[in-house]
């Protein structure tokens, strides 16, 4: 075979190999990097898929009901890879895609548990805005607005406005400030105007302090008060027994089990080494400004061993006729009543007539008086 003929054959084989390699690379590029030119405005996903399928010959597989949840698409691209075009189209859609050979499979997105919880919490909570003011329309700065039985709270601004974020839409809120009564309201994005009304507390109640009257807010001494309404609710004949458990520092005990027995009253402990001040350990009782003796008014012997029955004079005071009882515990007592108030002073104020409609209370009861008698065995 001539040498020139062999050289031509080898050259043809090389050219054929190069052409085959280029053809294979072109087919591979067209398969894995198919490019799309697309321009659509507010088109449905189904229409966009049809346009892409006409250009590159890819088939789209999807559920028609799934595409009903998608939004219209507006896109304009030129000579862009198919995978990149699909990413732009489905970026904010509730669907995703996967490419298998010449088929594009469209399916719903799998929402993670964390994202689902965030969306659920976002739907359940709201931001609450409002304004706190008094009944005259003046803003209340520094008022506290909080979620009842919750940990979320805030303070109102100089204009009385507040903002609470991430509040359960089913919760209740409370607004409060010093000198005002609490006001409750339901959570809402716009809570509107919350009105606080002045609070009438025990600090402004009138108290008797021996040398006149004052209020709990202004008094400087140590004193306590029990209202007559509290005494009326107890089945007692001696009003002093109604103070038990109601006055701090006062210890009241019953010395005997029979009705009318003299109780033992100690205010702030024993006040002398011998336990006796001027022959008396009881506090000084003052009824409507007049000192009242607490020594027994009657002594009757009876039962075995000549036991002495003593009766307290305070049993003669009807608890229903008492307006209030004030107990002075410190220097207020001795400053006015001297040594007689060393064991404390009990100020009893009875009810007085008031203007207004006439009120009559009728009580029907049978009273059985029994006196202990001496018995012989």
The Cα–Cα gap between 63 and 67 comes to 7
The Cα–Cα gap between 123 and 100 comes to 38
Per-residue CA distances from 69 to 40, 65, 91, 118, 318 (Å):
19, 7, 14, 21, 81
Q: Range(s) for CATH 2.170.130.10 in the chain?
A: 204-350
pLDDT band at residue 278 using 50, 70 and 90 as cut-offs: very low
Q: Range(s) for CATH 2.60.40.1120 in the chain?
A: 121-196
pLDDT band at residue 156 using 50, 70 and 90 as cut-offs: very high
What is the mean predicted confidence (pLDDT) over 245-258? 80
Neighbouring residues of 143: CB distance < 8 A, sequence distance ≥ 6: 132, 155, 156, 160, 162, 175, 176, 177, 180, 196
What is the mean predicted confidence (pLDDT) over 266-273? 70
- Is residue 357 within 8 Å of 284, Cβ to Cβ? no
> What's the burial of 179, exposed, middle or buried (CB within 10 Å: 0-12/13-18/19+)?
exposed
* Higher per-residue pLDDT: 242 or 310: 242
Q: What is the pLDDT at residue 370?
A: 44
Query: In terms of residues, how long is the chain?
Result: 377
The Cα–Cα gap between 333 and 341 comes to 5
Chain mean pLDDT for the chain? 76
Supply the CATH classification number for the domain 204-350: 2.170.130.10
Q: Is the CATH number of domain 32-108 3.55.50.30?
A: yes
* Higher per-residue pLDDT: 3 or 58: 58
**The CATH number of 121-196 is which of 1.20.120.140, 3.40.50.261, 2.60.40.1120, 3.40.640.10?**
2.60.40.1120
The Cα–Cα gap between 321 and 166 comes to 56
pTM for the whole structure: 0.39
pLDDT digits (tens, 9 = 90+) for 23-72: 665 544 444 457 888 888 888 888 888 888 888 888 888 887 777 778 88
Please tell me which of 114-123, 185-194, 225-234 the model is most confident about, judged by mean pLDDT: 185-194
Q: Range(s) for CATH 3.55.50.30 in the chain?
A: 32-108
Q: Coil, strand, or helix at residue 197?
A: coil
């Amino acid at each position: 075979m001539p040498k020139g003929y062999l050289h031509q054959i080898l050259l043809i084989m090389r050219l054929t190999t190069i052409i085959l390699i280029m053809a294979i690379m072109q087919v591979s590029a067209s398969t894995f990097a198919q490019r799309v030119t697309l321009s659509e405005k507010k088109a449905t996903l189904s229409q966009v898929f049809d346009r892409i399928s006409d250009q590159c010959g890819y088939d789209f597989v999807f559920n028609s009901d799934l595409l009903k949840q998608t939004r219209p698409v507006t896109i304009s691209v030129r000579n862009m890879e198919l995978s990149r075009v699909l990413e732009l189209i489905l970026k904010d859609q509730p669907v995703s895609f996967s490419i298998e050979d010449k088929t594009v499979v469209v399916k719903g997105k799998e929402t993670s548990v964390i994202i689902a919880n965030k969306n659920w919490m976002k739907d359940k909570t709201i931001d609450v805005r409002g304004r706190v003011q008094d009944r005259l329309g003046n803003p209340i700065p520094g008022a506290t607005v909080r979620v009842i039985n919750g940990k979320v709270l805030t303070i109102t601004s100089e204009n009385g406005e507040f903002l609470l974020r991430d509040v359960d839409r089913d919760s209740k809120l409370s607004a409060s400030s010093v000198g005002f009564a609490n006001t409750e309201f339901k959570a809402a994005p716009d809570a509107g105007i919350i009105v606080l009304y002045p609070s009438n507390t025990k600090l402004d109640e009138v108290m008797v302090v021996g040398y006149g009257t004052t209020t709990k807010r202004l008094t400087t001494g140590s004193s306590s008060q029990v209202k007559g309404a509290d005494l009326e609710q107890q089945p007692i004949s001696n009003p002093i027994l109604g103070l038990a458990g109601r006055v701090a520092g006062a210890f009241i005990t019953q010395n005997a089990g029979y009705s009318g027995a003299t109780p033992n009253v100690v205010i702030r402990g024993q006040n002398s080494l011998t336990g006796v001040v001027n022959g008396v350990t009881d506090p000084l009782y003052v009824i409507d400004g007049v000192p009242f003796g607490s020594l027994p008014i009657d002594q009757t012997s009876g039962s075995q061993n000549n036991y002495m029955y003593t009766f307290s004079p305070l049993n003669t005071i009807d608890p229903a006729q008492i307006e209030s009882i004030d107990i002075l515990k410190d220097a207020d007592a001795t400053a006015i009543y001297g040594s007689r108030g060393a064991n404390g002073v009990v100020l009893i104020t009875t009810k007085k007539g008031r203007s207004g409609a006439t009120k009559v209370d009728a009580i029907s009861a049978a009273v059985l008086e029994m006196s202990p008698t001496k018995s012989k065995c």
